[in-house]
Structure 1
C-alpha cells in the first residue's frame, strides 16, 4: 500500500537507460566492453534531477568490427567439436563510451547481473541478467586500471585487447588483469633500436600528456642510454588544448635541427599536429609512429598527411588473418539479427535509411530501408579485413577465455576456498576466481597455428613494422617492412621509402660524426650528441668515424698526414746525399787538401829557417793531427753503425788531443827558449829537448787513449733511433750510453786547450820579430770559443743536426788552428822568401 498518487518504486542498478547492449544467451556468458561511441552526452550539473549515465552517440566503425570479432569467435567456438564440446557460450557486450565512468557502470552491470528495476520483491534473475564470470574489455590503459581495481575484490578476470601500459604488468596491483596487447615497453624499445640502427642521434619527441607518452619517452631514453642518441626536445599534446599544443610543437619542430620526430600519441592529436606543420610548410621530417596511429586509415587518407608525413616508419600491432571473418561481416544483416541494436544503428548510418517501423515519427528525414541493402560492396573500416590488428587481439582474448573454461570444465577442480563444493564439470557453477586461476595457466595453439600463453598479465610481444609509401595515384599506402618479436628486430631496409622519397636513410644529428683523424670534444652545457671535432695531435690516430679519443702510436710508428693510421717512422740521419752532408763533406775535404798542401810546402822548404824554427817535427806532427781532425769529421756523416759510433768519438777525441798537445809543447818550447837566453838558464833547453817534446806529446795523447778505451769498453755509444723526438722522421744516432765518458773526453780536450791558451798568452809579448806564441794564442782563442759554443748548441740541436753541430765545431776549430798558425808562415815562405832568414826571424 502506498500513498494516493504514489508511483511504483523503480531504480536503475548497473544499467544505462536506452542502451542494453548486445546479448546472446548461453550456458556461460562472457562479458564484453568496447568503446563503440565517442561522443558523451551532456551532463546535468544543476542537481535538479536524478543523476544517470545517458547513452553516448557517434558510433565508430572500427570498434564495431571488434565487437563482431568477439561474436564471430564465440560462434566459431560453439561450432567446435574439440573446444568446449556440449557447452554453449553466450555474450553480453556493452558500450563503455571510451570514458571510465561509463566503463565502470557497464562492468558492474555485467558482473552484478543487469536489473533495470528494483522493489521490495525483486523479480527472479532471467537468463539475460546472469552475472558474467569474465569481461573482455578495458580499451585504454586508464580504463583498464580502474576496471581491474574495481573488479579485483570480486576476482573477476579482465582481458584487455588494447591496454598497453607497462604498469598493468604489476600482478600485486592488478592480479585479475590479462591482455592480448603487448606492453608499450616493447614498442618503445623497438623504436629506440631503429634510431640506433639508422644512426639518428638527434631526435625530437611529441608525446601525449599522460602516462602513455611519458612512459614511452622514459623507456626510449633508457634504451638509447650509452648509444650516443639524444632527445632534442620533448613536446606534449593534451586533447583539451590540442590546437595550441599542436601549434607549439610544430614551431619547435620547425626550429629544431632534428629531422627525425618520434610521435607517441593518438591519431586525432597527430592529425592536428600535421595540420599545423602544413601551415608552417614543414615537409622534410621523418616521423616515427607508435602503434596508436601508425595504422590509422583516417590519417592515411588526409591530403595534409601526404604533404607532411610521407615515409612514416611505425610500429603496429601484429596483423593476422582470421579465416571466415570477412564472409561473416559481409553477411551481417539486421533481418537475421532483429535484436542487434548495434547492427541496426550502423545499418541506418551506412545506407541512410531507417529500419524502425515508426520511421515517420523518429526519423522523418530518412527513407525506410527496402531490404536490398548489403555489405558485400561496402568499403570502410568495418568491412576492411586486410589488416586485422586489434580485431585479432579481441579474437585471441575470446579463445583465451574459452580455453581456460575448457580446462576448468574438463578436469577435477581444486577448491580454492574452504567450503567450496562446486563441480568443475558444471557450467552453472563456474566461479570467477576459478577462471582467474585457469587463465594464468592457459597454453594453446591458435587457429592460426601460433602458440598462445600468458606471462603473468602479458603475452609475448609481437609487432609489425610498417612504412607509409607514396603511390602513383598520389596517395599513401601502408607497406609491411618488418616485424618485432620480443626485443628482436627484423627489418627489410631495402623496402623502406623515406620521407625524402628515396631509399637513402635521412640524417638527423646535432653534430656531424667526426671523420677518421679527429675525435669528439663535448660542448660545455650541451648534450653528448652535440660536439666539436678536434684533429688528433701528431703521433695520435683515430681510424673510425666518431672516435671518442685518439690513440697514441707505438714508439716505432707515427701518424700519417690525415692522422688515420700509424705508419713506420722513417729513419733519418746526416747522409752524404743531402745538401748539408755534401756541404760539410766538401768543407772537410777542402780542409784535408789544404792541410796536405801546407804539409807539402813545409816538406819542400824544411831546411829554411821558417820551418826549422821552433821544432819542425812538432809542425809536421801538428799538420798530421789537423788532417786527422778533418778526416774524423767525415765519420759523423752517413748511417750510424756499431763500428762508426765507437770510432767517431774516439777518433775525434784522440785527434784533437794530439793537435792540442803539439800546440802546448810548441808553446812550452817558446817559453823555454826565451828563458834559456837569460843568464844562468842555459841548461833549461837541455832538459826539454826534442826527445822530451815528443815524449810529452805521446804522454798527453796516451791519457786520452786510455780514457777512450775505458769508455768504449764499459759503455760504448750504440746506434739507436731517437724515438723521444716527435715526428714521422726519427733520427738514427749514436746514443751516448755513458754521458760521463763523453764528458771526460771533452773535458780533457778542454783542459789541454785552456792550458795551451794560458801558456801562449804568457808568451805573446816575447821580443822576437816572428813570435809564434802570438799565433798560438789566436788559434787557441778560436778553438776555445768554438768548443764553448758547441756544448749548448749540441744539446739543443734536434735529431741529425746535433751531428752537424759537432762536425761544424770540429771543422771550425781545425780551420782556426790551420789558418792562424800556418797561414802567416806559408805567406812568408811562398810570397816573401826574402824574409825567410834567420836574421829576420831573430830580429827584435
Structure 2
C-alpha cells in the first residue's frame, strides 16, 4: 500500500498536482471491528458515527479491503449506500458480485465461482473421485464449500465426508474430527477454512502428528497467514492450492529493503517489526538477559530467506492493482478521458468516482491489463501451487500446473517437483472403488455415492470396451463376446456337417444302411417264387423294403447346412417314408390275422386276403400322412433358422419346425400306426405257422417304439447339431430294427437254410 501510493505520487502523468494519502485500519478478522473502521473513515472521526459524514470537505475517495469475505460483506452493505468505491484484494465470495446488494464493491481477486472448476480439473487429472471437505463453521465458508461440493459432485467427484470446524471447538472436538478424517478412505481433504478456525484445528493436528492425507486449500486458505507459523509446517508442508500467477512489481524489492524506522517515525509497527526480525531492543527499552540493543544498521536483506521478500505474499500484486485502479479512475475523471462530463477535484463525489473506476482499462507497471467485468471482478487465470517448507527454514510456493485451452481445458504439469503432504512420495489414489476394467460394468452399492460401486462381468452376449463403463453393450447378432467380454468375435456357424466326424459317420452309416434293404430287395426279387418270399404278400415286402431304403437315405437330408427347401423336404420325406413303412407292416400284420381267422375255404370273407386290399390300406394310411404334411406346408412350413442365443460363441443353423402342432400331428400319427401295429402283432404272435411274421413284427415294433420313446427326452435335452444327430440316430436305429427283425430271418432261410424254404412249410397264401 505504501509503495504504490508513493509510486503514484511520484508519477507526474498520473494525478498531476494531486497527492494520495491513506489511513490504515486493522479489522483483525472480525466483522464488528471492520465495520467500526469503515464508519470511522466515513465520519472522519476517531469515534464511529453511523449515517454521518462529519468532515465538510471529505477527501476520502475509496476503500481498499477487506481480506475476509465476511468482513467485506458487512462493510460493503454500508459503503453501498454512499456508492463509495470499495476494492477488495482478498474477498472471493461469489455473492459479492451481486450489484443490486453490493453496488460499489469491486475486487482484484478472482471470483469464488471459478474455484470449483479448478478443483475439478485437478481432481480429474489425478483421478481423485473420493474426497473429503473440511469447512469453517461460518456462513460464508459454508456457502462457498457447499457451492464447491455441488459443482464437483455434478462433475462426477464424490464427497466422502463434509465436516465443520469452529474456533470455539474444544481439543476433544477437534480430535474427534481428526479421527473421523483418518478413518475415512478418502486420501484428499479440501480445506475451506478461515484463519480463526484453522489455527486451533491445526494445533491439535500437529500435537497428534497427523499424517496420511493430502491437503488442498481454497484460495483464501492457501493465502492464509497460517503458513507463517513454523509450528504447523510439518502438517501443512505440501499443501496444494490455487493462486494467481506470480507477478513481480518493478522496484518493489528495492523498496522493501530500503525500509528503516527513521523513515517512518510515526509508524507504530515499525520498531516492533525491527525488534522481532533481528531479536534486538531499542535503547529506550529495558534490556533482559541475553538481549542486545538495535543499532539501526541491521540489513533487511538477511531476512530474504525467512519470507521477507517481494514474492512472500500473493496479496502483494492484488493490493497494488486495487490502489492502481482506484487512482486511474480518479485520473480519468479529472482528465476528461471518458464520455461522462469532465469533473474537477473540487467536485469530488464518491458516487461519481465509482462510475469512472468501474470503466478503468489500463496496464500496470508490471504489464498486467486491468479492467473490471460487469460484476466488478478483475479477469485473470489461476495456477496450481504447492507450498513447500524447506529443511533450511525457507518456504516457497512452487507452481506445478496450469489449465490450458479453454473451453476444452486440461491440466498441464510443469517441470517443478510436487512435495506431497501426508508422507506420500507420489500422487496418491483417492477413490472409493477400484476402476472397472473393460469387460465389466459398474453396479452402484446400495446407500453409497455413485463413486462406490462393484464391478460386474458383462453377460454372455454383452461387452464393454471402456474403463468404468456404466452399462454393457450387446454384440451384433452374428457376433459374440470374447472370454474377457471386452470385444466381440464373429460367431461360428454350427450345423451337422458332412466334413466333421459325427456327420460323416452318420452319413456313412445311412448310405451303408440303405444298401441293406436294397440288397434284401434284390434277394427277394431273385427268389420271388419261394415260399418265404411269397408268404404274407411279397408285394408288401417289396414296398416295405423300398420305403426302408428311403428311411435310411432321408437321414442324409438332415446332414449339411440347412436351407429352407431342405428343411421342408427332410420333414416330409421322413414322415411319409416311415408312415409308409409302418403301413406296410400293418398290412402284413392284418394279413396274418385275417388268414388265421378265415378257415373256411369257400368263405365270402376270403376276399379280404386279396393283395389289393392291403395295398389300399397302405395307400390310405400314407395318404393321411401326405394330407397332414400338405396342411403343414400350407399353414406354417419349416424354414431355416439361426439361433444365436442357445450357445455362446456359435450361431446354430437349424430348421425351425414352423408349426409345432403340425409336427406333433406327424409324429403322433406315426406313433399311432406303430402302436396299432404292435398291438395287433402282439395278439397274433402265438398263431401257428412256419412263416408266421407276427412274432417278428412284434419284436420290430417293440424296438421301433423303444427307440422313438427314448428319442423324445434325448431330443429335448440337446441343442444344435447334437439334436439333429439324435434324430438321425433314431431314424437309423428304428430302420435297422425293422430290417433286422422282419427280413434277416427270411434272408437267413433263403441263403443258409434253403431246405426250410419249401411248400410244405407254407401256411399263408400269396
* Fold in common (TM above 0.5): yes
Return the match for 1:85 from 16, 21, 25: 16
Match of 1:632 in 2: 554
Match of 1:427 in 2: 345
Give 1:180 deviation, angstroms. 1.4
Return the match for 1:644 from 566, 571, 581: 566
Please say if 1:373 is aligned against 2:328: no
Separation in 1, partners of 2:272, 2:86: 27
Match of 2:314 in 1: 389
Return the match for 1:261 from 185, 189, 208: 189
Equivalence map 1:342-491=2 (5 Å)? 342-353=269-280, 359=284, 369-379=294-304, 383-386=308-311, 388-411=313-336, 425-455=343-373, 456-468=375-387, 477-483=396-402, 491=411
Return the match for 1:204 from 120, 125, 132: 132
Separation in 1, partners of 2:279, 2:58: 36
Match of 1:247 in 2: 175
Separation in 1, partners of 2:543, 2:516: 15
Change (3 A) 1:434 1:295: closer
Please say if 1:800 is aligned against 2:721: yes
Change (3 A) 1:193 1:811: same
Separation in 2, partners of 1:555, 1:590: 39
- Contact preservation (8 Å) 2:246, 2:314: yes
Give 1:797 deviation, angstroms. 3.6
Separation in 2, partners of 1:228, 1:116: 53
Return the match for 1:610 from 526, 532, 537: 532
Give the gaps of 5 or more residues in structure 2.
none
Give 1:466 deviation, angstroms. 0.6
Match of 2:460 in 1: 538
Secondary structure at the residue paired with 1:82? Answer: coil
Match of 1:327 in 2: 254
Give 1:324 deviation, angstroms. 0.7
Equivalence map 1:435-834=2 (5 Å)? 435-455=353-373, 456-468=375-387, 477-483=396-402, 491-493=411-413, 495=415, 497=418, 499=420, 505-576=427-498, 578=500, 580-581=502-503, 584-585=506-507, 587-589=509-511, 591-592=513-514, 594-596=516-518, 598-599=520-521, 602=524, 605-678=527-600, 680-681=602-603, 684-685=606-607, 689-690=610-611, 693-694=614-615, 697=618, 701=622, 704=625, 716-739=637-660, 742-743=663-664, 745-746=666-667, 748-750=669-671, 752-757=673-678, 759-760=680-681, 763-787=684-708, 790=711, 793-795=714-716, 797-829=718-750, 833-834=754-755
Match of 2:160 in 1: 232
Match of 1:24 in 2: none
Separation in 1, partners of 2:701, 2:522: 24
Change (3 A) 1:381 1:90: farther
Change (3 A) 1:487 1:342: farther
Change (3 A) 1:352 1:787: closer
Match of 1:315 in 2: 242
Separation in 2, partners of 1:474, 1:352: 17
Secondary structure at the residue paired with 2:485? Answer: coil
- Contact preservation (8 Å) 1:236, 1:245: no
Secondary structure at the residue paired with 2:652? Answer: strand
Report Cα offsets for 1:788-811 as digits up to 9, x if no partner.
554565455422233123213212
Give 1:252 deviation, angstroms. 1.6
Secondary structure at the residue paired with 1:515? Answer: coil
Change (3 A) 1:683 1:290: closer
Change (3 A) 1:353 1:795: closer
Match of 2:120 in 1: 192
Give 1:279 deviation, angstroms. 5.7
Give 1:821 deviation, angstroms. 1.5
Separation in 1, partners of 2:279, 2:604: 154
Report Cα offsets for 1:486-515 as digits up to 9, x if no partner.
988663336453638888542111111222
Change (3 A) 1:727 1:488: closer
Report Cα offsets for 1:290-343 as digits up to 9, x if no partner.
23343568648847645x555432112442111111111211223333333333
- Contact preservation (8 Å) 1:675, 1:684: no
Separation in 2, partners of 1:72, 1:146: 28
Change (3 A) 1:748 1:298: closer
Give 1:154 deviation, angstroms. 3.2
Give 1:736 deviation, angstroms. 3.0
Return 138-147 or 643-652, whichever deviates more. 643-652
Separation in 1, partners of 2:111, 2:596: 116
Give 1:762 deviation, angstroms. 5.8
Match of 1:20 in 2: none
RMSD: 3.8
- Contact preservation (8 Å) 1:769, 1:842: yes
Separation in 2, partners of 1:409, 1:629: 116
Separation in 2, partners of 1:364, 1:702: 132
Give 1:697 deviation, angstroms. 4.3
- Contact preservation (8 Å) 2:125, 2:411: no
Match of 2:107 in 1: 179
Match of 2:68 in 1: 140
Return 182-191 or 593-602, whichever deviates more. 593-602
Report Cα offsets for 1:121-151 as digits up to 9, x if no partner.
xxx979xx95513111222122212222233
Return 784-793 or 622-631, whichever deviates more. 784-793
Separation in 2, partners of 1:339, 1:514: 68
- Contact preservation (8 Å) 1:494, 1:503: no
Secondary structure at the residue paired with 2:532? Answer: helix
- Contact preservation (8 Å) 1:570, 1:729: yes
Secondary structure at the residue paired with 2:383? Answer: strand
Please say if 1:102 is aligned against 2:24: no
Question: How many corresponding residue pairs?
Answer: 756
Give 1:465 deviation, angstroms. 0.8
Match of 1:67 in 2: none
Give the gaps of 5 or more residues in structure 1.
1-69, 119-123, 416-422
Separation in 2, partners of 1:158, 1:452: 16
Change (3 A) 1:281 1:404: closer
Return 540-549 or 591-600, whichever deviates more. 591-600
Separation in 2, partners of 1:830, 1:506: 93
- Contact preservation (8 Å) 1:112, 1:131: no
Change (3 A) 1:604 1:220: same
Separation in 2, partners of 1:588, 1:474: 96
Separation in 1, partners of 2:535, 2:433: 86
Change (3 A) 1:412 1:478: closer
Give 1:206 deviation, angstroms. 1.8
Secondary structure at the residue paired with 1:805? Answer: helix
Return the match for 1:217 from 142, 145, 150: 145
Change (3 A) 1:829 1:116: closer
Give 1:257 deviation, angstroms. 1.0
Secondary structure at the residue paired with 2:23? Answer: strand
Report Cα offsets for 1:418-440 as digits up to 9, x if no partner.
xxxxx954323311221223233
Give 1:743 deviation, angstroms. 4.8
